[in-house]
Structures are given as C-alpha cells and as structure tokens.
Amino acid sequence: MVGIVIVSHSKLLALGVQQLAVQMVQGNVPLAVAAGIEDAENPLGTDPMQVYEAIASVFSDDGVLVLMDLGSALMSAEMAIEFLPEAQRKQVYLCEAPLVEGAIAAVVAAAAGKNIQQVIAEARDALVAKATQLGIVSGQLSVVSGEFESHSEYPTQEIRLTVSNRLGLHARPAALFVATASRFQSQIKVKNLTRNTEFVRGDSINQVAILGVRQGHELAISATGADADEALAALQALFATNFGEDDTALPPVTTQHQVTPATPGELSGIAASPGVAIAPVVHYQSPIIPVPQYHVDNPETEWRRLQTAIHTAQQEIQALFSHASIQIGDAEAAIFDAHLLFLEDPVLLEAVHERILDHHLNAEAAWQAVVDEVANSYRTLEDSYLQERVEDVVDVGQRVLRLLVGNVPSELHLAEPAILVATDLTPSDTAALDPTKVLGICTTHGSATSHSAIIARTLGIPAVLGVDTDVLLLEDGTLMALDGESGKAWVEPEPDILDLLEAKREAWQTATQEAQAAAHQPAITRDGKQVRVFANIGSISDVQVAVANGAEGVGLLRTEFLYLGRTNAPTEEEQYTVYQAIAQVLDGRPLIIRTLDVGGDKPLPYIVKVPEANPFLGWRGIRFCLDHPDLFKTQLRAILRASAGHNIKVMLPMIATVTEVRAAKAILNEAQAELKQANIAFDKAIAVGIMIEVPAAVAIADQLAGEVDFFSIGTNDLSQYVMAGDRTNPRVASLADALHPAVLRMVQQTVQAAHAAGIWVGLCGELAADTLATPILLGLGLDELSVNPQTIPVIKQAIAQLSVDEAVAIAASALQQDSATQVRNLVQQLTHK
C-alpha cells in the first residue's frame, strides 16, 4: 500500500491534518508526520532528518507520497530524499497538492488500493473533487448531493429500519451512527421517511441529527459502493442492538410536589435534579467572546490557524471526557463523543473552508457563521428534545472560538458554597462543577432532558431550570432555597418555608450520612470475611471524593491524564508532585499507580506513530513503554520518589509475557540504582503488580505470579480479548460481556494461580462496580475490588449482606451457565429469594 508523509512547519497543524485523514480511513493507511522543530520558543520549522525518518517509517515498494506546505518544507523534503538509498529514492514522490485536501484525498485513494500515480492524481484533483462534492452556494450547509468518489459502477442498495430508542437518534446514537457510516468507503445517505425529509449524508453528525429522528420513526438508509453490503449490515446491527442503550434505565421522573402554596419570593421552574439546597446565590455567565470580521490576504494561513484551534479543542474535550468518565461515569461522559464528532463533521468543515478560501474571511468570522447556521437548523426543528442540542453546538463552537481569539477559559472559583444562578450552563460548564462548592443550580433556560441536567443529576447537584428571568437581577449573596424535586425556588425564603426545606434536606442528608458512615467501615461478609474496596481515580480531586466515600485505598490511578491534552510529555518533577499529593490525601492507605497505558487506541499527540488496523491488538500499554524507555524511566523515577514515606505500589498494564515483566523490572531497577546513587529516598521494597487483561496472561498466570507481588484483573479489556469481540464495534460489542462464563472462568483461573503463589489479586474493571456481580466475585475469591468513588458505599453494602458460603455457591452455578444473560438471571433469582 502507498505510504503518505505530511511535512509542515507546524506540528499542531500536521497532527490535525493527520487526525482528520486517519478518521477518513480508520487508520488503515501508513501515514507519518514530520513537522516543527525542537525549539520551545520558536517551534515552527522543518527538519530534514525528521522527514527522512517519517519516509522510512512508511516506506513501501508501492511508493511514498510526500505532501508539504511552503518554503523550507519543500527544501527539507528534497534534502531528506538524498539520505535514502538510490533504489528507494525513485519510489518517493513530492506532490504540490494542497496539504489538507490533498492528504484526505490521498489516504482515501491509498486505502482503496490505488497505485502511486492514481494517488498523486487524486491528491492533485482534491480541490476539484471537493467543489464537485459540496455544491455549496453562499455557505449553505444543507449539502446532500456530493460524493467522495464516483460509485457509478455499483448499484445503490437501500434498507428501511424503525428506530426503537426512547429518545430516537439523540446525541450518542447519532454519533455512533456517523462513526459507523464513516468506517466504510461506500457513500451512505439517510432519510427520515416519517417526516418526509430529503436524503442527507450519513457521515455528517449535524445532518443526521437534524433529521429529527424520534422513537418509532422509519428511516431509509442507502449505500453505494464496493462495501455497501457490509456498511448496511453494520448500521442494521446498531438498530438491532438499540445502539447499546438500555431503555429500562429511564431518567428520574420528577413530579411536582407542592411544599407549600405559592408565597412571595417563590419561583416556579422545571424539576431537573432532585435535592434541596439553601445557600447564597452567585451569578455565573460564560464570557462573551467578540467575533472580529475582516478580509485576509492569505486564506491558507487562516485555514491552518483554524485547524490548530480545532485540534487543541479536540485535546481539551478528550481531557474533559477522561475526567467526566471518573466523575459521572462512562455512559454520561459519552455526551462528549458527540462534541468530538462535531469537530470532525466534513460538511461543517468544508463550509468553513469555503468561506475562508473563497471569501477571504478570517477564521473567527467564518467559524462562527457556520456554527450559527448549524445552531439555527436545530432551533427550527419542531422536536423540542432535538432543539435542546443547540447547547452542545454552542458549547463546542465557543470552545474553538475562544482558542482562536486567545481567551483564557473561564473558571468558577467559589470561596464559600453557593447556589449558581445563570441564564444557562453548557455541558462543559456543568461537568467542571465541584458539588462540594456548588450546592444547587438555578437557570432561566434549560430542561430536564438537557445534557447539563443529566450531568447535574449524576453529580448529585439539585437543579431548578427555566425560572423567571428576574432571578438574574438578584445580587450575589442573596439567600436562596431550591427544591429540585418540586421544581421550585425561594428568594429570601420565609422562616416556615426554610423550616420545611431544612427538614427535607436534613432527612436526605441523614440518609446519605448513614450510608457514608457505613462506607467508612470495612466491607465484611456476614461470616466475617473482609474484602478491601478501593477506588479507581484519575486526578487529585478524584482521590478526595474517594476518601470521602470510604475508599480503603486506590486500586487504580490512571496516569494518562498527565500525558494527554498537551504537546509534550510531563516532566519527572510534574509527575512526582501529583503522585505525592495523591498519596498525602490517602494518608497511608495503599496507592496503586498504573504506569502509562496509551498507544493504539489512545495515541499521544507528541509521539509519531504509524496508524494501526486494529489498535486494541497493537502498540499499547507496556509494549509502548518498553519501546520508549526514557519516557518509561522518567515515570518510574517519579513514582519511586513519591513512594518515600507512602504506601505506593507500581502496576504494569497490558502484560502478555514473562519477558515483558522482566524487561520492565530491569528498567525499574535502573531507576532505583540512579536514585540510590543520587542519594534520593524511595521505598526500596516497593511492590510491583501487573494487570491481567490478556488471555495469554491468564494462561501463564502461575509463571507471572512468580515475578510480581499482586495481580489486578482488568475485565474491560479481558472480556473483549477472551470473546474476540471489539467493544467499540456495535456488531460484536455485546459479546464483550464480563459476566459471560468464559470470562468468569478466566477470573477464577487467575485467582487460583495468584493464591497458589501466595500473592493477592484484585479486580479494577467495571464489573467490580456491578452489584449483580458482587456475589460471584466474592465467591471466586477476589481479595480486593476497585470501583468508581461514587459506587464504594453500595458495593460495601452488597458485600455486608452476603456470606462466603452463599457467594461460593452462586459463583459455582454461574460458571456452569451458557451465557451472560443466564448468569444475570441466576444471580437475580438467588439473591431475591
């Protein structure tokens, strides 16, 4: 296959183009980047040796296409070719095609198996193809007729499907639909037959969303191309599996309970998140970002500036998703998947590009104009639920605009707990709130089904939305009370109202405190067996929540948050400071730090890598770290330094062989020797453990147990590897169920091997947080369970209600079942007698 190299003065620009190109072909084309120079003060430039290494990394006898921006990029590329052997030089072609469009056209052509000359021709014709594809007039966004490439030799195939999701194709299923459609080369179009819409492009998140697809609507989906059958089958599987959503888990029903008849100072609104809050008000308003509009002489430079802002916004959203996964759970954090897809929407990007290049409009004005078009297209929909998706469009649009104009992100700093009063809150605003400081939310806009309301409920922050705008005139510090169950708020409430609300709040707080008090006790079964309950965390704030919820330690510190969302790796000192701060909060409790687990499905933007066809089976975890020993040793040194005086353990991810463990321990020994020589304190007896998440590790668990001090089973990955079912592929994701007997037998085998060797074994996958699985895990002999901080009290309660004999019997029966469904039915029957 033809390899492709992107050469640019700007590393951020090149990585953005690479990411866009990779998305087009799901990483199936060898694509490398050579961009920027190692100069912190002036990073713009090109390096011939970088270009040479990039060419070498993707070299193929089929040829290599090199795309460049202007100036020294061309000279660096020409110089790099001189370093190649004579025989290889003839296979490398420098192409004058535009960088962004040329890269996209080239990767699509290469993925289709075209030869080097055809790939070059596609790259050179990229702008012509784009103009034909868009057919945009005056920036209109409603483009449905363009195609990526001609499919005239293939007949168009069509299927009709009915949507069963309770909320239709809202943000998450729409994002999944678009992501699936984008995996195929065929042109995918979709039409809402119920609403008699026109066909729109299936790879556009906004065009799919504004179809207004609700439960019961019938869709027509067409596919034209070589892989049309596969594309339609994949999309049909999404509908068959209900897009992975469980419609039995409905949002809380909020009934209007009158606390008292209407009184002066009473505000009526929408009950969005239950609970009572009494506190002074503090106003919050997202900063208004001015949008300059002016003529630009160099539109290509302006487009690159926008690409850089979009790439940075993607990094910010990925970091927010990582934090939200810990704070509110993976299901609700998936809201931000749609935000990422918005930034990748080809129709939106092409519309902005047309405004910049054809009208010579500056990036801020072009971006805001198209975002406004998209937002207005949502506002004109008859469906009120889809109208609410405007908040997501505005949220993402403002994020990019802020980066373009250089504004610092607004952060809310509260000296004392307060009720937040605002016109509205974006999902990003809400996800960043601290529930210990923001006791309640009162806004003049919003609804109970908005993404902000969903996040508020998950965070446990009472919220009343849609109240009268007069609330915005209140002075900061004014006392307010609100009841998120009844949907009412009171300004300077009368004593009798305060008494009623105080009683309601105290009753709720008493129940919560009782649960938390029990959570601070050890988790002991009825017959006296103790199971340690630890927390999975990803930041300093997470560990504070974990301790408050009764965590007996941290079973998994995900260190990726230190590495993502930045342009260079964190220093040893940065890492040491964070690890030490977390250990201090734990105050002697165990802290298990998992070493860097990136690569493959979680690439670092500052590490150039060749795209992989199947990243879950690729260059990730310990494999990545052993190939970057300097990066790995820096982290190990920071962990070792933090271990002095603290109960810290090291855990290695993605272990498949004994050789990997020994290689990692050798680098750890080197780090220890360096610190000892420098007379720097560390725990010389620091425990080393491994993640068991690969079937090979289970098979040789007896050998691995002789090399380490503990095991921790990661059932999220172990499930997909055992069942050979990619959990990101909707057609097979249901196979990757940790309650399947095949996976449970792997857990049993691991526990038996660990205990035979005299080491303890924990489980840190999502299965640990499922109370339905608690009796099985207890019966299989797990010594420790590590869960999200909010789940700790309920897991401890579940353990306290069981006996070991009862759990062993349930586990033995579960191992004999035929499916995960049968396992669930069995546990429900046995535990509800």
Q: Which residues belong to the active site? A: 451, 764
- Give every CB contact of residue 343 below 8 A, 6+ residues apart in sequence: 310, 313, 314, 317, 396, 400
Strand 276-283 with 200-201, pairing: unpaired
For 259-295, letters b (16+ CB in 10 Å) and e give beeeeeebbebbbbbbbbbbbbbbebebeeeeeeeee
Say if residues 678 and 720 touch (Cβ distance below 8 Å).
no
Amino acid (1-letter code) at residue 779:
G
HSE-up (13 A, CA, CB side) for residue 600: 16
What are 511's two structure tokens? Answer: 């129940």
Strand 270-273 with 266-268, pairing: unpaired
Say if residues 391 and 449 touch (Cβ distance below 8 Å).
no
Count of residues in the chain:
833
Say if residues 743 and 795 touch (Cβ distance below 8 Å).
no
Tally of CB atoms within 10 A around 70 = 11
HSE-up (13 A, CA, CB side) for residue 129: 20
What are 126's two structure tokens? Answer: 């990229």
Q: Which of 648, 634, 632 is nearest to 688 (CA)?
A: 648
Q: Which of 86, 200, 73, 195 is nearest to 146 (CA)?
A: 200
Alpha-carbon gap, residue 602 to 44, rounded angstroms = 26
Amino acid (1-letter code) at residue 653:
P
Q: In three state form, how does the secondary structure of 199-243 look?
A: CEECCCHHHHHCCCCCCCCEEEEEEECCCHHHHHHHHHHHHHCHH
- Cite the beta strand spans of 457-570 per DSSP E: 463-465, 479-483, 488-491, 532-537, 554-558
Say if residues 383 and 313 touch (Cβ distance below 8 Å).
no
What are 237's two structure tokens? Answer: 């599987």
For 447-459, letters b (16+ CB in 10 Å) and e give bbebbbbbbbbbb
Say if residues 763 and 777 touch (Cβ distance below 8 Å).
yes
DSSP for 437-485, written as a single string: TEEEEEESS--TTSHHHHHHHHHT--EEES--GGGGGSPTT-EEEEETT
- Strand, helix or coil at 180? helix
Alpha-carbon gap, residue 451 to 433, rounded angstroms = 14
What are 306's two structure tokens? Answer: 């926008």
Query: DSSP code of 542?
Result: H
Strand 463-465 with 270-273, pairing: antiparallel
Could you give the maximum distance between any two Cα atoms of the chain, in Å?
Answer: 90
For 461-479, letters b (16+ CB in 10 Å) and e give bbbbbbbeeebeebeeeeb
- Give every CB contact of residue 380 below 8 A, 6+ residues apart in sequence: none
- Give every CB contact of residue 433 below 8 A, 6+ residues apart in sequence: 412, 420, 441, 456, 459, 461
Alpha-carbon gap, residue 104 to 31, rounded angstroms = 11
